[in-house]
Amino acid sequence: MKALVRDTAFPDRDVPLLGTFRRASRSLRRIALLGDLAECQRIIAASFASSPSCQLVGVFAPTEELVETLAQQAHERALEEVLIVPRGLADQPLAMALERLAACPVDISVDLGVLRDTVSDLITPQLSRDPPGRVMLIRQPMRGPAAWLKRLMDVLVSAVLLVLLAPLFCLIALLIRLESRGPVIFRQTRTGLDRHEFQVWKFRSMHADPGRERHGACQATRNDPRVTRVGRFLRRTSLDELPQLVNVLRGEMSLVGPRPHPVPLDRRFTPQLRLYAARHRVLPGITGLAQINGCRGETNSPDKMAARLRYDLEYIRAWSLWLDLKIILATLCGRFLHANAY
């Protein structure tokens, strides 16, 4: 009996599959198709029937509504890969779909079509996985054993530092309370992995303002009168970031990654800068590639944010444990001190 998968783009029609898929399990790789219905049917018949390790989640047309639905499934971890079938698609909707999906925690691959047989003998082995005839365009970062090691390093290092730096925490807390009234810890909503919001922890470096803590006011500027004397030293040396070790221990942040920005900044720059939302493919970090290369301080223009974004995307693309270690060493060796840190 033929198995049926509902076509998401056309709810009134079913897409016939040749063969019978195995029942969904953790061993199955969940894949969604994005493209023209007729072309996707061809892919299903030619590839998925002979790929028992794959489970077809659905077929999606490249419309804004359906791409958003597909992205939501990706954020909910309901699929691992989106296979794009470009034949028959116009450039504009395809580009729109790619940019939106690039911010999702999924692999993005492209079907080779007629080129598959032409270059089959030259295709890199790791790119010729089931179903055959596709190449990986964007791979989900930080997964597998290396990702587990990164998380293990985050937990061990943050736990040890929280114990060792406890006396320093107490000293900083005392200095903050002696200079100005208000809480020692400042909390603000930031955007993290998969666009989930969380409360970031920092030592308070400005005069207390409950409205700023709740809603996120404008960023600090050079010689900002809101910054206290103790706060100016903390910000210049990045000691105000130390409480974020708690965020790391809780799994909301990593030691290394793109810096989390206040929610209003994310909302401002997401539509302005292409692939800005791709920063949320990984956990944000206490330090990162952008920070050790001088991208500190106020980001009051698209150009300044674009400079940070270039480093963040480079970090995501080239990530390795060795790169994390180099960034940590560069931070500890003083490269976190910068004139723009105010």
Say if residue 325 is in the same domain as residue 285: yes
Q: What does the pLDDT read at residue 49? A: 63
In a domain, 341, yes or no: no
- Same domain, yes or no: 64 and 123: yes
Q: What is the pLDDT along the chain (342 residues), one digit of tens a residue?
A: 233 344 444 433 444 433 333 344 446 788 899 988 888 888 787 776 666 677 888 899 888 899 999 998 888 888 889 999 888 888 888 888 988 898 888 899 888 776 665 655 665 544 445 556 677 888 887 777 888 999 999 999 999 999 999 999 999 999 999 988 889 999 999 999 888 899 999 999 888 765 555 445 556 555 667 788 888 888 888 899 999 999 999 999 999 999 999 898 899 998 899 889 899 989 999 999 999 998 877 777 888 899 999 999 999 989 999 999 999 999 888 644 555 554
Torsion angle (degrees, nearest 10) of CA 170, 163, 251, 280: 60
Distance CA(294)–CA(288), nearest Å, equals 10
Q: Residue 56 forms beta bridges with which residues?
A: 31
Question: Are 315 and 286 contained in the same domain?
Answer: yes
Q: Of 86, 118, 138, which closes a domain?
A: 138
**138, 161, 187: which is the final residue of a domain?**
138
When divided into structural domains, the chain yields a total of 2
Q: Name the token pair of 159.
A: 């736990």
Burial class (CB in 10 A: 0-12, 13-18, 19+), 210: exposed
DSSP state letters, 83-94: EEE-TT--HHHH
Which pLDDT score, from 0 to 100, does residue 150 have?
94
Residues 209 and 230 both lie in one domain: yes
Q: Is 77 found in the same domain as 109? A: yes
- Contacts of residue 103, Cβ cutoff 8 Å, sequence gap at least 6: 71, 195, 275, 277, 278, 280, 281
Is the same domain home to 313 and 182?
yes
pLDDT at 21: 39
In a domain, 196, yes or no: yes
Q: What is the pLDDT of residue 230?
A: 87
Tokens coding 146: 């290396």
Residues 164 and 100 in one domain: no
Return the pLDDT at 155.
Answer: 96
Q: Tell me, yes or no, whether 154 and 219 share the same domain.
A: yes
Residues 117 and 166 in one domain: no
Please report, for residues 196, 260, 340, the alpha-carbon distance to residue 189 in angstroms, rounded to integers and kept in the order given.
10, 9, 23
CATH number at residue 35: 3.40.50.720
pLDDT score, position 224 = 65
CA distance readout (Å), 302 to 12, 37, 96, 313: 44, 39, 21, 16
Which two three-digit tokens encode residue 275?
Answer: 């692939």
What pLDDT, on the 0 to 100 scale, is given for residue 295? 85
Q: Residue 260: how many CA atoms within 13 Å on its side-chain side? A: 31
Q: Are 91 and 124 in contact (CB under 8 A)?
A: no
Per-residue tokens: 225: 């009168």
CB atoms within 10 A of CB 51: 18
| Per-residue DSSP letter, 129 | P
* Helix pair angle (64-75, 91-101), 10° resolution: 20
Say what the pLDDT of residue 132 is: 60
183 and 98 in a common domain: no
* Residue 20: per-residue pLDDT: 36
58 found inside a domain: yes
For 32, phi then psi, to 5°, come to: -115, 145
Shared-domain flag, residues 214 and 265: yes
Q: Domain for residue 342, yes or no?
A: no
pLDDT attached to residue 24? 41
Range of the domain at 171: 145-335
Residues 206, 330, single domain; the answer is yes
Confidence at residue 128, expressed as pLDDT on a 0 to 100 scale: 44
Using a cut of 0.75, tell me whether the model's pTM lies above it: yes
Sign of CA dihedral 268, 271, 275, 277: positive
Give domain status of residue 340, yes or no.
no
